[in-house]
Amino acid sequence: MSGKSTANDETRRLAAIDLGSNSFHLLVANYQDGQLQVVAKMGEKVQLAAGLDADENFTDAAMARALACLERFAPFLDGVPAANLRIVGTNALRAAYNARQLIDRAEALIGHPIEIIGGREEARLIYLGAAHALAEVHGRRLIVDIGGGSTEFIIGEDFEPQALESLHMGCVAYTGTFFANGDISEKRFRRAEMAAMSELANIQRHYCQLGWQDPIGSSGTIKAAAAVIGARGDGDATLIERDALMKLRKTLIGFGNLDKVAMDGLKEDRARVFPAGVAILCAVFEAFDLKRMRYSDGALREGVLFDLIGRSTPEDSRRHSIESLMRRYSVETAHADHVAQSAMAAFDQVRDGWSLSEEQRLFLFWAAQVHEIGLAISHSQFHRHGAYLLEYSDLTGFSRPEQQALAFLVRAHRRKFAQKELEALPDAVQLTYQRLARLLRLAVMLNHARPEQAPVDFQLICDGDNLHLRLPDAKPQALLLNDLEQEAAFQQSAGLTLTYSP
């Protein structure tokens, strides 16, 4: 995603909120002529990961901190169209059992959906942000981003990532594990490093085989380490040399207690989690035999904005993921295209009556394209197999809620209506996805006999949630009439009405 634009493009106001495990970040920017111009930028230490109790639930205090922060962010979102705003949650929101409770309250406060993204998707967006910040630098890069609950590692060139990993280690999590009582010692520090080395062993050989010319660090821990090293006169604030990092390590151990950690260049609200972050950074230097690492300002929130710019265009990474799935599972493309054409014809006839959006049209199209991927596993119950693949695969560009929604459509495209899976979706989208599933079911049914041309010459009328399908003048095939009778019964059992006429 290059972010190219034309000089005639109108200015777009964009915004991203990154709900990190340690900090929340807001970025508002204007986009024009292929460039982002920052309008507002804020960050607050919320420390969600530190607010997990022994049962992996957010405490009331942690949720209160999160909501108070979002309340302060909210005024900066005035004037940003909903389509130009993304709010993404990372490791702590992936891990907490009661995350949905916090998300529901936050969405009610901010008036916009929150997307939980997977670790590799987080890594991809971090790379996208860093790559744009480093656009003038050529060659293969290693990007490292140490967060509160996870650390992302990406190797890429230009704007294309070649390896993406997210490891379960972060400065907040490691503070609770290795420095829980506040004591800092050589033994505790080394235990943290060895735990990180153990995680890194999973990717060490593969990453070293790929290789890189330029190791880059992004986000809080690495930014703070570079700033402290610069303030100590051991380098500038954009470069971390290995010798300077080892001196920093020794100094931190010398403090003896987290409450005593105070250094020029280190913000007070980061001091307690800084030693754990530096321990992870030392392990990264050791595992990859790094001599130096540069700091880059581009990170997740910038990546979210650049990804947002590419959405609903030929550069949409989600489209590439769907095409990849179709190739991987040998989808019969002609039939998938026919189902998609029929689904789009149905969608366009009820779009206004059901207040459906262009983004929802995309999801229906994608579901039609991949509705048969489960056949690669088994013909029996293939709609269930397809839903499982969609929900649990790493799909570039998709958030977890988006994958769940796409999986629901595939699960619901045949047989008994998938009421249980519908109710597992967020309340706010259940009606919309129930309606999209009904359109997909009709499109699949109209193409059951696998005709040479997609049926599009039908009329679909909606009256609230009552649907009426008017078929072309030609006499319908017996198979289609039988399918319609069965489908009307399936929908009736779900409390829905489908009628039809030749």
Average pLDDT estimate for 194-215: 96
Rounded CA-CA distance 112/109 in Å is 8
- Report whether pLDDT(4) > 50: no
Between the CA of residue 157 and those of 114, 121, 219, 316, what are the distances in Å? 30, 17, 20, 19
With a cut of 60, say whether residue 320 has pLDDT above it: yes
Q: What is the pLDDT of residue 134?
A: 83
Q: How many residues does the chain have?
A: 502
- 1 pLDDT exceeds 70? no
Terminal CA-CA length for the chain: 48
pLDDT confidence of residue 5: 42
Provide the pLDDT for residue 135. Answer: 66
Average pLDDT over every residue of 299-325: 90
The mean pLDDT of 217-228, rounded to a whole number, is 92
What pLDDT, on the 0 to 100 scale, is given for residue 76? 96
State yes or no: pLDDT of 298 exceeds 50.
Answer: yes
What is the pLDDT at residue 6?
Answer: 42
Report the pLDDT averaged over residues 468-478: 84
Q: Give the tens place of pLDDT for each residue, 54-103.
A: 999 999 999 999 999 999 999 999 999 999 999 999 999 999 999 999 99
310-314, 338-342, 446-450: lowest mean pLDDT where? 310-314
How confident is residue 3, by pLDDT bands cut at 50, 70 and 90?
Answer: very low
**CA 152 centroid distance within chain:** 13
pLDDT category, 136, cuts 50, 70, 90?
A: low
58 contact partners, CB below 8 Å, separation of at least 6? 48, 51, 52, 66, 92, 96, 98, 99, 101, 102
Contacts of 252 (CB under 8 A, 6+ apart): 184, 189, 261, 274, 275, 278
Q: Judging by DSSP bridges, how do beta strands 497-501 and 214-218 pair with one another?
A: unpaired
- Per-residue pLDDT, averaged over 298-305, amounts to 91
Check pLDDT > 60 for residue 476.
yes
C-alpha 405/C-alpha 426 separation (Å) is 9
Mean pLDDT, rounded, for 247-263: 97
Looking at residue 234, its pLDDT comes to 79
pLDDT of residue 297: 85
Tell me the pLDDT tens digit for each residue of 7-66: 445 889 999 999 999 999 999 999 988 788 999 999 999 989 999 999 999 999 999 999
Angle between helices 171-178 and 274-287 (to 10 degrees): 100
Helices (H), 288-332: 300-310, 317-328
Per-residue confidence (pLDDT) for residue 161, from 0 to 100: 93
Whole-number Å distance between alpha carbons of 445 and 453:
14
What pLDDT score was predicted for residue 491? 95
Q: Is the pTM of this model over 0.85?
A: yes
Mean pLDDT of 142-171: 95
CA 404 – CA 38 distance, rounded (Å): 33
Q: Is the per-residue pLDDT at 377 higher than 90?
A: yes
* Contacts of residue 349, Cβ cutoff 8 Å, sequence gap at least 6: 459, 460, 461
- 137 pLDDT above the threshold of 80: no
Q: What is the average per-residue pLDDT within 254-260?
A: 97
pLDDT tens sequence across 236-248: 778 999 999 999 9
Structure confidence at residue 260 as a pLDDT band (50, 70, 90): very high
pLDDT at position 220 is 86
- Whether residue 107 is predicted with pLDDT greater than 80 in this model: the reply is yes
Q: What is the pLDDT of residues 393-435, one digit of tens each?
A: 989 999 999 999 999 999 999 999 999 999 999 888 999 999 9
Please give the pLDDT value at position 191.
98
Q: Return the percentage of the chain with pLDDT > 90, whole number.
A: 86
Beta-carbon contacts of 271 under 8 Å, excluding residues fewer than 6 positions away, are 258, 261, 262, 263
Q: Please state, rounded to an integer, the average pLDDT across all residues of the chain.
A: 93
Q: What is the pLDDT of residues 270-291, one digit of tens each?
A: 999 999 999 999 999 999 999 9
Return the pLDDT at 312.
73
The domains found in the chain, sorted by start residue, are: 12-116 (3.30.420.40), 135-297 (3.30.420.150), 316-501 (1.10.3210.10)
